[in-house]
Amino acid sequence: GLFFLLFGVLLYFDSVLLAFGNLLFLSGLVFIIGFRRTFTFFFQRSKLKGTGFFFGGLIVVLLRWPILGMLLEAYGFISLFR
């Protein structure tokens, strides 16, 4: 997942590579810690703002607005993991 994200950024924010990297990142997280723990991590009451921005950014990337989507995802990622 990280390879596709990095490669998507290096290729001037290629939206297909970024979307594929995001989906692989989330699926890798599910494989590592499990579906239930992933779900409870993202949907804790204190982390709903970060989750909304992260998944909103993912949707914006899928709608082919990669720079705005990556900015939203970055803010959500920072909010989730601080």
* Other C-beta atoms lying within 10 Å of the C-beta of residue 43: 10
Statement to judge: residues 34 and 58 lie in one domain: no
pLDDT band, residue 10 (cuts 50/70/90): confident
User: What does the alpha-carbon distance between residue 45 and residue 31 come to, in Å, rounded to a whole number?
Assistant: 23
Statement to judge: residues 48 and 63 lie in one domain: yes
pLDDT at 8: 76
Domain that holds residue 6: 1-43
Statement to judge: residues 2 and 37 lie in one domain: yes
pLDDT (tens digit per residue) in 47-82: 999 999 999 999 999 898 999 999 999 999 999 988
pLDDT (tens digit per residue) in 13-52: 888 888 888 888 899 999 999 999 999 999 999 999 999 9
